Amino acid sequence: MKKKILIVGSNYYDNIYSGLLRSAKQKLKNNFLCDEILVPGVFEIPVAISKKIKKYDGFLALGCVIKGQTPHFDFISQASTNAIMSLSIENKKPIGNGIITCLNMKQAIKRKNKGSEAAEAVISILSI
């Protein structure tokens, strides 16, 4: 039976999210049943995962945070990372963190294919 994966993504930066999603789906295709839900920003990703935690075998968190002029970048990046890790450990389910944190859009564009790495992490843990 194929494992069920939920991809929870923020399309705040739609072009970046599309690349992350495409590369993740390429890694998962044919071997997993995948569903996708969108949330407005990366800060909302952990709560969306927590609402669905019992229904899926693994999760992918995909999105992008780009540093601006305020400390907001640091707060959002740290809070989402900590929440994802806590959910994963508490529920003993893999959550691939494909939320890229960049200093500018140029960096984000170069990293928009990193969704495959988050997918690979989930695949790896599911095989243990």
Per-residue tokens: 74: 């640091």
Residue 72: active-site member: yes
Expressed in percent and rounded to 5, the helix, strand and coil fractions of the chain are 50, 25, 25
Query: Which residues pair with residue 64 across a beta bridge?
Result: 100
DSSP class of residue 93 equals -
Q: Which of 2, 51, 72, 110 is catalytic?
A: 72
Dihedral angle computed from the Cα positions of residues 105, 110, 113 and 115, in that order, rounded to the nearest 10 degrees: -50
Sheet of 32-39: strand order equals: 32-39, 3-10, 58-66, 95-102
* Enzyme catalytic residues: 72
